[in-house]
Structure 1
Amino acid sequence: MNLPDRKEAEVRRLLDGPHPLVPPDLAARAAERGRRLLARRRLLRRLVWLLTLTALLALVIWVTVDQPWSPPPAITTPPVEGW
């Protein structure tokens, strides 16, 4: 037998043999796991949005308070002393 025939024969032998028993609650467990995964994904997505909006709010507050686009005041004369 060459390689492909051996694989085909092995697959046929597995399919002709006794099939393993499927647990009766398999569908319910799979559905519950799917619900948990979706809930976890939804929570993670909401946390990412909350973090993004918090960072954006912090940036807006920093820009309005500090005004980083305005140049620093120019110092042209030394302070007056002795008056």
Structure 2
Amino acid sequence: TPKTVVELLSQLGVSLTTSSINSMVKNLSKELVMEMKMLGCTLLVSYVYDNVNINLKHATPTGDALQGTLIHLTSGTMIPL
């Protein structure tokens, strides 16, 4: 969530501060990493990988934008059996 949106919601009393949200996400991520490691040790999990290719075309091409517009990513998913 963009910082300005979080700050607006915070001022309206609807949301927490940006730092509180970031801290919460960091703590949840740490917990999930530990759970994933424990699940991986049981060998009752399957791993799925997928390649993603994204072409970032520019609305107005410039000299340096004509090259390197293709991005290659790999995503991974852990599926409990």
TM-score of Structure 1 vs Structure 2, range by shorter chain: 0.3 to 0.5
Higher relative contact order (CA 8 A, sep 6+): 2
Q: TM-score, normalised by structure 1?
A: 0.33
Select the structure of larger CA radius of gyration: 1
Normalised by the length of structure 2, the TM-score is 0.34
Of Structure 1 and Structure 2, which has the larger fraction of its residues in helix? 1
